[in-house]
Amino acid sequence: MGERRFQALSHPAKEVLVEIYWPFSVNRDGMADGLALAQDEINAGGLAGDIPVRLILREGQSWEEAKQIAIEFSENPNLSAVLGYYDSSEAIKASMMYESQPITACDRRGQ
């Protein structure tokens, strides 16, 4: 999969695809609104060049959900980055799945 991702990302991108895993409905911390605002500003200001940023928001609270979503994320060769993982323990566990993939995963503190 790593080779497929490098091959997909080595061509001119039609979009920057970022997937986010977060407990949106439980936290209600404005994360979804902040992400939408950032996406709008990036795309309107051309901050990624002429390439639009597209976000895919995924809801989850348990490790089982996080694991399944991490598998789905890691199987997408067009994925540029993963954001989320409210809890560092989930980010650490998920990072093992992403380790063989050129994807970045971080927790809420950006670690």
Q: Convert the pLDDT of each residue in 5-60 to its tens digit.
A: 677 767 777 888 898 888 888 888 888 999 999 999 999 998 888 889 999 998 87
User: Domain 2-98 is classified in which CATH homologous superfamily?
Assistant: Response regulator (3.40.50.2300)
Over residues 70-90, the mean pLDDT reads 75
Over residues 61-89, the mean pLDDT reads 77
> Given this model, what pLDDT does residue 57 score?
92
> Given this model, what pLDDT does residue 92 score?
66
Domain boundaries, the chain: 2-98
For the chain, give the DSSP string: -HHHHHHHHHSPPS-EEEEEEE-HHHH-SSHHHHHHHHHHHHHHHTEEEEPPEEEEEEE--SHHHHHHHHHHHHT-TTEEEEEE-SSHHHHHHHHHHHTTTT-----TT--
Q: Please give the model's pTM, rounded to 2 decimal places.
A: 0.69
